[in-house]
Structure 1
């Protein structure tokens, strides 16, 4: 990765001024202006030369420029039309030899579907907008089953929650739903000062190695169980799952059939437990 490609603090501010862009909390915008952080994210993603990467919220192009000379194709999803309109020019100017690898789509990542993308994505690498990070992550994993690797930057608290294990106080809905797709792990912490503007909180890197271990068709049976199990954390599964199965007695029967103690709480169950329970709904 050539240093000359990457954007530093001066270039970030110049681009923002040219576009009259002020980062907004509403869109969860914080622009990375530190080349070392970009290098670190790309390295942690462990991409291969034939990877097709989806990037969400490329902003002014800091991470895009880091990805473009590593992957075979980068599909950048940008909700802000000014930023989407400038990104191709930024890449053409700073990394002209890789410009043809970039596709920019001006779209809300929560609304993107397979029809929008004329390629087969194999990786998701992004500094996710903090206000919608988990919904975007889960939407893209559901919509693009060909994604094999995820490396995203989110709020540190969200990163901890995504990678939490059963029994932990922060283990919950995001932990189980992310784990449904594969092995979730923390890949480091990022300080505040690599961003403009500097956020009030630290950020964390989360890596997901996606597997085909679980039948994706079970998602519609499993995810409502996860939501219900954690809606009232202090109650037992017999009680919290009564609405899904029709009654406390039916919930208890399904739990026992799945080999799960009905007196447990949601935080005690692994993703495999929830999957076995989901199979009882069929």
Structure 2
């Protein structure tokens, strides 16, 4: 098998397949040979498992997954890569490439057809420009996956793994915490890539909850997250002001709801926990939240 972290091998492959890195797809080659084995190991994928990869590139992480999992399915949007991957993954009969946009592919059907009853984990080096949409699709659709281990930009990793109720948390931190337990595993320096990006990267793992840790009012998940997005749309304001502005509600109504839920209306959005937002939601009239468009 070719050494896919060797720069001369990478250049040879690219030359033979007339492949050039695309900034539009957020592509960089991993040239540090220790990174992908470490990511694959951190995913916990092993014999009996199915691995879903997003954006395999030339296959540097893919081969590590193929060495561990029963079956590996990679979704790739770049139409230039199938021929190249056919060469680099030729030695792995447990590998399948699906050409398509991961935000449009029917992932539930794909997982059912390709993995059957196997436990499934996602493991990938995500394109940084669409990290959040990909992760939220994986989580919100409640797909039959056990965990998600991905490399993302360090700043994104910090937001995704921030605990609700802390200064670092943002709206997406609450969404991730609702669906999974998140932790940052290790950082990856720019020199591990070619060309070297301007940012430091980090690997995170999300262990998906079988049951969410809190219960939204009336089971209305969409309403809960609409409320949280409204709060964080103006995070420098108090939660009362931000929600009143974001949802177009009378401020006195929002203050009354916070006080009824046992909270100080002067608190800022990041000072409320996930449970606090559920209590806040329960104290607001259902129509006050459900009739409003998302704020972001």
Kindly indicate whether the alpha-carbon contact (under 8 Å) linking 1:23 and 1:197 is maintained by their aligned counterparts in 2.
Answer: no
Distance 1:123 1:13, change over 3 A: same
Say which SS state the counterpart of residue 82 (structure 1) adopts: coil
Where do residues 10-21 of structure 1 align in structure 2 (5 Å cutoff)?
A: 10-21=8-19
| Aligned equivalent of 1:256, options 234, 256, 259 | 259
Normalised to the residue count of structure 2, the TM-score between the two structures is: 0.83
Deviates more, 1:77-86 or 1:149-158: 77-86
Aligned twin of 1:41: 39
Aligned twin of 2:4: 7
> Gaps (5+ residues) in structure 2?
287-296
Where do residues 170-181 of structure 1 align in structure 2 (5 Å cutoff)?
A: 170-181=168-179
Kindly indicate whether the alpha-carbon contact (under 8 Å) linking 2:224 and 2:278 is maintained by their aligned counterparts in 1.
Answer: yes
| Aligned equivalent of 2:276, options 249, 273, 277 | 273
Distance 1:248 1:125, change over 3 A: same
Partner Cα separation in structure 1 for residue 162 and residue 247 of structure 2: 25
Once the two structures are TM-superposed, the CA of residue 116 in structure 1 deviates from its matched residue by: 4.5
Say which SS state the counterpart of residue 103 (structure 2) adopts: helix
Aligned twin of 1:74: 72
Where do residues 199-218 of structure 1 align in structure 2 (5 Å cutoff)?
A: 199-214=197-212, 218=220
Q: What is the CA RMSD across the aligned residues, in angstroms?
A: 2.3
Say which SS state the counterpart of residue 143 (structure 2) adopts: coil
Bigger helix fraction: 1
Say which SS state the counterpart of residue 38 (structure 1) adopts: helix
> Gaps (5+ residues) in structure 1?
none
Once the two structures are TM-superposed, the CA of residue 144 in structure 1 deviates from its matched residue by: 4.4
Kindly indicate whether the alpha-carbon contact (under 8 Å) linking 2:165 and 2:274 is maintained by their aligned counterparts in 1.
Answer: no
Distance 1:16 1:260, change over 3 A: farther
Kindly indicate whether the alpha-carbon contact (under 8 Å) linking 2:30 and 2:194 is maintained by their aligned counterparts in 1.
Answer: yes
Partner Cα separation in structure 2 for residue 38 and residue 155 of structure 1: 16
Distance 1:225 1:62, change over 3 A: same
Distance 1:228 1:201, change over 3 A: same
Once the two structures are TM-superposed, the CA of residue 275 in structure 1 deviates from its matched residue by: 3.6
Once the two structures are TM-superposed, the CA of residue 159 in structure 1 deviates from its matched residue by: 1.0
Kindly indicate whether the alpha-carbon contact (under 8 Å) linking 1:228 and 1:240 is maintained by their aligned counterparts in 2.
Answer: yes
1:159 paired to 2:157:
yes
| Aligned equivalent of 1:105, options 98, 103, 109 | 98
Partner Cα separation in structure 2 for residue 85 and residue 220 of structure 1: 42
Partner Cα separation in structure 1 for residue 261 and residue 82 of structure 2: 48
1:247 paired to 2:247:
no
Aligned twin of 1:60: 58
Kindly indicate whether the alpha-carbon contact (under 8 Å) linking 1:218 and 1:275 is maintained by their aligned counterparts in 2.
Answer: no
Say which SS state the counterpart of residue 81 (structure 2) adopts: helix
Once the two structures are TM-superposed, the CA of residue 177 in structure 1 deviates from its matched residue by: 1.6
Distance 1:218 1:112, change over 3 A: farther
Partner Cα separation in structure 2 for residue 253 and residue 52 of structure 1: 49
Aligned twin of 2:291: none
Normalised to the residue count of structure 1, the TM-score between the two structures is: 0.87
Aligned twin of 1:225: 227
Distance 1:260 1:47, change over 3 A: farther
Q: Number of paired residues? A: 274
Say which SS state the counterpart of residue 108 (structure 1) adopts: coil
Kindly indicate whether the alpha-carbon contact (under 8 Å) linking 1:6 and 1:66 is maintained by their aligned counterparts in 2.
Answer: no
Say which SS state the counterpart of residue 183 (structure 1) adopts: strand
Once the two structures are TM-superposed, the CA of residue 175 in structure 1 deviates from its matched residue by: 1.5
